[in-house]
Amino acid sequence: MDIFTLAIAVPSSLIIGVVLVLAFRYIQGIFGKRTAVTEADNILMKAREERRGMLLEAQEEILQSRREGESELRERRSELRAVERRVANREENVEGRARNLEKRERKTGEREKEIDQIYSEAELVKDQQVVKLEAVADLSMDEAKEFITRQAEDDISHELAVRYRDMEEDVRNEANDKARMILGQAIQRLASDVVSEATVSRVPLASDDMKGRLIGREGRNIRAIEAATGVDLIIDDTPEAVTLSCFDPVRREIARLAITKLVADGRIHPARIEDMTQKATTEVEEIIWKSGEDAVLEADIRGLHREIIRLVGRLKYRYSYGENVLMHCLEVSHLAGLMAAEIGANVKIAKVGGLLHDIGKALSHEIEGPHAEIGADIASKYNVSRRVVSCIAEHHDDEMTSVESFLVAAADALSAARPGSRRDTVENYIKRMEELEEVAGSFEGIEKCFAIQAGREVRIMVEPESIDDVSASTLARDVVKSIEEKLAYPGQIKVVVIREKRSIEYAR
């Protein structure tokens, strides 16, 4: 086949193919339209049937809703008619009550008019009677009221005074009975032993030859002992004993232990004396600390500063009228605690105050002032409770700031006044009281004079006509100076001058 024929055949074949494809698509389109029409008719028929079903259901629902609405409407109308009937009944009742109320108001108004008329007539009669009474009594209304009021006030004041006096007497008697019972119970429960001890320090010797060894060559040993201990060593004719003299009981005890060790050892020379004195000092410090701890444990007290405990232990070597001060403080602590428990006071405060009330005596020779003030200052320094400090400072005062202060003062008086507590004979006690009263009562204008609290206080009653308030203060100072010049006494003496003016009348 030549090229020309091929060139004509190829385009012809392409044209025929295109014509066949177009014919095929045309035939397919005709058949597709018919199928789509048939499907559309089927869908339309189904939609019409569904529409008819939905219309039927909607009509049934509308009918049902209408029936229910009509039924509810009938019920509401029935309820409304019932409410209308009740409202009508209530209106009728209200109208009836209103009519009754109007009738009552009219009757009340009429009664008020009658009452006003009667009241006016009564006031008129009252005024007439008052005028007649004033004329008869020769007193006006105001004067009569004042007279009656004054008389009533006098009667009430007199009755109140009588009642107050009776109540005060009853309370005083009851308080005295209660106080006696509490003190008796506290003393009976304590029942401590007699604590009087000797204050003379003596060192026994195996023989009198030891006295010469204590003196030493040209007195060097006795000078070394006195220099190391600060105690005067008295060597006299007392057989087989030497006496120690010192105002400090702790140093006296150190000297006693040192000399006892020297005598037992037999080697007495200045170097050995210093060594034994150092050992005795250490031993006494341990005894003081142990005594303070034992006292605190026995009193069941906790939380005290170490220095306070050491000062309490130093009281082991202090004596007051032959009474060991540490034993006295323990006794006061127990008594104050027992009495506080009986009356419902603070037991801890009372016990601590009782144990520390004389702690100032551990330093009274080193610091000037009364031992109560010294003890209070020491307690404040080491952060002791303020209420305990008050107990320490006030245990010799008349004015107390707390119940526990009263208890500590009472326990102190009980412990000091107990038979056997102090080595003081009755004759010496009476003589000291008489001398004190004689010196204090030797001034002009004094009516009475009393020595109380075992000679710790003097109360002076003066004549109010001859001594005024200013002169009373001057008299107190003069009495203090006279006591200081003429008497020898331990501790301090409080002088109280009392000037009292009384007005007394008698009803006959």
* Model confidence pLDDT, tens digit, residues 249-279: 788 888 888 888 888 877 888 888 888 888 8
- Please indicate, yes or no, if residue 164 is contained in any of the structural domains: no
77: CB partners within 8 A, 6+ apart: none
Chain position carrying tokens 């009594």: 137
Domain end (from 248, 271, 298): 298
83 within some domain:
yes
CATH of the domain at 209: 3.30.1370.10
Give the domain range for residue 436: 426-499
Q: Whole-angstrom Cα distance, residue 85 to residue 263?
A: 131
CA distance 7 to 17: 16
Tell me: do 129 and 231 sit in the same domain: no
Q: Are 113 and 7 part of one and the same domain?
A: yes
pLDDT in tens, 90-136: 888 888 888 888 888 888 888 888 898 888 888 888 888 777 777 77
Strand partners, 233: 244
Among the candidates 298, 321, 349, a domain finishes at 298
CB distance 416 to 331 below 8 Å: no
Residue 450 lies in a domain: yes
The angle, 0 to 180 degrees and rounded to 10, between the axes of the packed helices 325-343 and 141-190 is 130
Residue type, 415: S
Q: Determine the Cα–Cα distance for residues 386 and 449; give it in Å rounded to an integer.
A: 35
For the domain that residue 470 is a member of, what is the CATH number? 3.30.300.20
In a domain, 92, yes or no: yes
Asked if residue 319 is part of any domain, the answer here is no
Are 101 and 218 members of one domain?
no
Amino acid letter, 220: R
Whether residue 29 lies inside any domain: the answer is yes
What pLDDT digit, counting tens, does each position of 138-164 carry? 667 777 778 778 888 877 877 877 787
Query: Percentages helix, strand, coil for the chain, rounded to the nearest 5?
Result: 70, 5, 20
Are residues 1 and 126 located together in one domain of the fold?
Answer: yes
Q: Do 124 and 203 sit in the same domain of this protein?
A: no
Q: Count of domains in the chain?
A: 3
Domain boundary residue, one of 251, 278, 298: 298
> In terms of C-beta density within 10 A (0-12 exposed, 13-18 middle, 19 or more buried), how is residue 417 classed?
exposed
Sequential pLDDT tens for the chain (508 residues): 455 565 566 566 677 777 776 766 767 666 556 666 677 777 878 887 887 888 888 888 888 888 888 888 888 888 898 888 889 888 888 888 888 888 888 888 888 888 988 888 888 888 887 777 777 766 677 777 787 788 888 778 778 777 877 888 888 878 777 776 776 666 655 555 544 444 457 777 877 778 787 888 888 888 888 888 888 878 777 777 888 877 777 888 888 888 888 888 778 888 888 888 888 888 888 988 898 898 888 888 888 888 988 888 888 888 776 678 888 899 899 989 988 888 888 999 999 999 998 888 887 566 777 888 888 888 888 888 899 999 988 888 777 888 888 888 888 888 876 655 555 555 666 788 888 888 888 888 888 888 887 778 889 988 888 888 878 888 888 888 888 888 877 667 888 888 887 777 777 6
**205 part of a folded domain:** yes
Residues 44 and 122 in one domain: yes
- Exposed, middle or buried by CB within 10 Å (0-12, 13-18, 19+), for 181? exposed
The reply to whether 371 falls in a domain is: no
